[in-house]
Amino acid sequence: MATVNQSSLPLFERVALVTGGAERVGREIAFTLAEQGCDIIIHYNRSADEAEELAKELRTLGRQAWTLQGDFSTPDDAEVVLRSAWELAGWVDIVINNAAIFELMPFSETTLNDYQQMLNINTLAPIVMAKTLYELVNSSEILPTDYCGKIINITDQRVHKPAKGCLPYWLSKKALEDFTLGAALELAPQISINAIAPGPVLLPKDVANSEPAGTLPTVTRCLPSDIAKAVLYLVSSLTITGQVLYVDSGQHLL
């Protein structure tokens, strides 16, 4: 029945959608996957020029690359992005839910809108992505019966314990962690789903509103390349699902 026999392809000859893939950690993940043989769909919200520039770079590696815009403050846009990605590439094997927003704010100053915005982008959009991928996989007539999609949710080492000063953000990422664990059973066996919880990797764009990295048990602070390597590890595994991998120099232990 299947005309696309993925099981016979080399491990990374796959199609990956990276949300928030135009810059920073998302860019590193997209580039690393492309170096390993993936064709890449780069989702962006406002970074159109950066997304197009990255797509050009990926094509020089001999990979196909596309860009798709979507504003996940409206979570339904996540479904539109994934269905468009599927149509562009023919199918999608790997979804990296990297797009997110972060803001420090005292609890006394938080509003209902702050919680809703964080949940929409950081939690509900990845949930919509997972549900849409599941629907597309189960309705497809070209995928092999042994197809196994991969979803990686980028959370935060803060999910290990409450963090002061960013309650809306912490709740949104904690909910994404819990969704990852629950969805692992719901999506199996067609799709595996895991999470990566980074520590301080890059300063926020708004340096004036940035926070110190804090104490790190290891000497070395993690880099975007460390997150990308963790992504490679998880998407290459046939036996790991429902796991949260901390890439944070041990910070979650403190």
At 2, the pLDDT band (50, 70, 90 cuts) reads very low
Residue 1 lies in a domain: no
Residue 190 lies in a domain: yes
Q: How many CB atoms lie within 10 A of CB 249?
A: 23
Residue 252, pLDDT score: 65
Residue 198 lies in a domain: yes
pTM of the model: 0.90
Q: Which amino acid is at 172?
A: S
Residue 199, pLDDT score: 85
Residue 2 lies in a domain: no
Residue 197 lies in a domain: yes
Total tally of structural domains belonging to the chain: 1
Q: What is the mean pLDDT of residues 139-147?
A: 87
Residue 220, pLDDT score: 73
Ramachandran area for residue 81 (φ above 0: left; ψ -120 to 50: alpha; else beta):
alpha
Q: ∠ CA(174), CA(82), CA(222), 5° rounding?
A: 45
Residue 6 lies in a domain: no
Domain interval for residue 223 = 13-253
With a CB cutoff of 8 Å and minimum separation 6, the contacts of 2 are 142, 143, 144, 145
Mean pLDDT of all residues in the chain?
89
Residue 133 lies in a domain: yes
- Are 244 and 194 in contact, with CB atoms under 8 Å apart? yes
């904690």: which residue's tokens? 174
More confident residue, 150 or 143: 150
Residue 9, pLDDT score: 45
Residue 238, pLDDT score: 92
Residue 3 lies in a domain: no
Q: Return phi, psi of residue 156, to 5°.
A: -170, 145
Closest C-alpha to 153, from 196, 93, 123: 196
Residue 206, pLDDT score: 55
CATH of the domain at 233: 3.40.50.720
DSSP for residue 161: S
Q: Which amino acid is at 178?
A: D
Q: What is the mean pLDDT of residues 212-222?
A: 67
At 204, the pLDDT band (50, 70, 90 cuts) reads low
Q: Is 70 exceeded by the pLDDT of residue 5?
A: no
Give the CB-side neighbour count of residue 29, counting CA atoms within 13 A. 32
Peptide bond into 189 cis (omega under 30): yes
Please give the Cα distance from 145 to 139 (Å, whole number).
12
Residue 221, pLDDT score: 75
Q: What is the mean pLDDT of residues 93-107?
A: 96
